[in-house]
Amino acid sequence: MTGYVFRWIATLAIAFVAGKLMAKIKMPSILGWLIVGMLLGPHAVGLMPQQILDAGWYKTIIMWMQCAFGVMLGTELIWKKLRSYGKALVVTTLTQSLGTFAVVSLTFGLIFSFLDIPVYLGFVFGGIALATAPAPALSIVNEFHAKGPVTDTLLPMTVLDDVVGIVVFFTVNSLVARQVSGGLVPFYMIPVMIFLPVMIGVVVGFPTGLLLKRKKGKIPTLAILLLGITATMLIGWGINEFLLSGITLNYMLMGVSFAAVFSNIVTPERLNEISEYFAPILGIALLAAIVDLGAPLNHHLILGAGAYTFVYILSRAFGKYFGARVGATIMHLPDSVKKYLGLTLLPHSGVSLVFTGIICTTLLNVPQLAQIVQGTIAAAAVINEFIAVIAAKKGFELAGEIKKER
């Protein structure tokens, strides 16, 4: 076991360096993590072999990391902020996210109906596609000090987009879980699979929030936070192991709800302090989660998924751009928002890879379908991210919110 742990840590270290190299060429670090996971996984070099991926200790660590990663999303779900965003932002968020879901699901549903592939897999692609990865666009805002209507619309939209993406994706995931189980999962279990992880997070998040409100200092804060994440994961694991045999609850969703609760209890200043303390741990959790997603990917599958990847990237871009444009037009937002907001919403890789890992777990009993999803999204994550970062930056430039490079 010690040797496998060392090999896993070595893989993470190499992925970390690759992420830094990606950042040097102005690309997201996450691409380096994914590529290293794939190259060093069991289908390539094998530094991180299948024995590690199947080990109980490894699966437990990844469950914890998924909870920790969910904290990043949960800390953005502040009720006062969500309520203050207004009708225009809510409508535009819904049109671009649900519009993307509809376009991608319909496109793949039609393709799969002709290829004798289950049509529900089209909704899987739609559920993955509607989410937006905010980090690339937000890093452009910070780096170039973007200011204007597009920036003002994008920043709160990233939060609302997370909410819609989580609800739609986990609803699709639950429906697919019932489908692939051959009906063995009772219909009433679908809302249970969505809301039980939320309730677990709430139960642990409330006392954690009260403790974080009272205790100050870096060490006590991290101790409380890490204890809360661990308790959330262990409760979820216990329920999954002993009460819901054959059904997999989602640990990221537990982390989201856990963080959302304590984030609404503490003050904004205290939340910023907590997030700053937790940032290094969050970085490690994200690194491990993305390497875990890249490791099982077979590069032969990626090369063979060219047609699906091409369709996925185009249909998602169409849904995001025109969905945002329709919503902005309905709500009479400024012309720059109508024309260029959609370009800033194209980055996708981080969220898509996390969702892919979740859905592939759900599709464990139908590996041929899991391979289609893995190959398509892995290739799209790499290709789309290069295109999307350039497009997002160009969108801000065309909107006149950052100066063009000389």
DSSP string, 144-195: HT--SHHHHHHHHHHHHHHHHHHHHHHHHHHHHHHHHTTT-S-TTHHHHHHH
pLDDT above 70 covers what percent of the chain?
A: 87
Distance CA 282, CA 350 (A): 13
DSSP element (H, E) containing 4: helix 2-24
Question: Does domain 2-398 correspond to CATH entry 3.40.50.10860?
Answer: no
pTM attached to this predicted model: 0.70
Is residue 4 over pLDDT 90? no
pLDDT at position 348: 74
Q: Which of 65-69, 85-89, 115-119 has the lowest mean pLDDT?
A: 85-89
Q: Provide the 10 A C-beta neighbour count for residue 289.
A: 22
Listed residue (297, 248, 253) closest to 59, CA to CA = 248
Is residue 182 over pLDDT 70? no
Digit-coded pLDDT (tens) for 249-271: 778 888 888 999 999 998 888 98
Is residue 96 over pLDDT 60? yes
pLDDT confidence of 211, banded at 50, 70, 90?
very high
pLDDT confidence of 406, banded at 50, 70, 90?
very low
Of residues 229 and 364, the one with the higher pLDDT is 229
Given its phi and psi angles, is residue 378 left (phi above 0), alpha (psi -120 to 50 degrees) or beta? alpha
Any idea where the domains of the chain sit in the sequence?
A: 2-398
Is residue 106 over pLDDT 90? yes
Angstrom distances, CA of residue 26 to CA of 134, 258, 341, 390: 16, 33, 21, 10
Crossing angle of helices 251-263 and 189-214, rounded to 10°: 40
